[in-house]
Structures are given as structure tokens and as C-alpha cells.
Amino acid sequence: MTSKHDTECQVVKKGNLEVEISSGQMTRLAGVSQGLVGAEGIHLAVATVPPGCASSPHHHVNCESAIYVSKGKGRFLTGPTLGTTLEIETGDFLYVPQNSIHQPINDSLTEPLELIVARNTPVEIVEEYIP
């Protein structure tokens, strides 16, 4: 018989991250996902936007997201037609509600924009936004 305490913590080393979908020029590597650790209600990844680039405008159909800006500065476009601009920089946190259209943009021409992204689902459903 197993108890509720039989499940053990896991470490995912930086060389073993899961390569996920790209959105525009943004790439994302997961460290906690269903595929890597069997997560059932959470997802954690690092998204990188190269200098002078942006993700595609998109929204997440099945989850909300919390984002921490770990490196760089830029803009986060949001709203029904991407009409709202939020200035972001290292140390900022963002909350992205489910179905909220958004697009991170790296304003630096020399440094990457790095975002730590947490979601409340192990697998996301992303839809691109076409204005």
C-alpha cells in the first residue's frame, strides 16, 4: 500500500529542458511540464526573445499565466486589439488572464529579454491572433 507521501521531488538539470513551441522569434524551454516530470496542474518555463524581436500576438485558451522578467526590458502589448502597451523590465511581474491577447517585444538591440513563465496547466493551448 502506498501513502500520499510516497511521491518524491525531482530536479530537471538545465541541459535536460523540454524545447517547446516558438512564437514569432520567442523560444521557450520548460523545466516543469507534464512530459518532463508528470506535472498535473502546473507548468514552468523560460521564454527568450532575442534582441529587437517579438513573439507572435497570441492568447492561451486553457490557462492563466504569471510571468517574471528575469533579464532585459521591453514592451508587453495587450488588449483586444493589442492597443495597450505595458513597459516591462528586469524584476517586473505580469499577470496574463486566460484568453488575454498579448505580445512581448524586446526593445533592446543587444540584450535578450528573458521571461520566467508559470501556468496553471501542464499543457497549454495557444492560438495565434491575426488582427
pLDDT of residue 79: 95
- Which domains, from first to last, does the chain contain? 15-122 (2.60.120.10)
pLDDT of residue 107: 96
Q: Which residues of the chain have pLDDT under 50?
A: none
Helix (H) or strand (E) holding 126: strand 126-128
3-class SS of residue 27 = strand
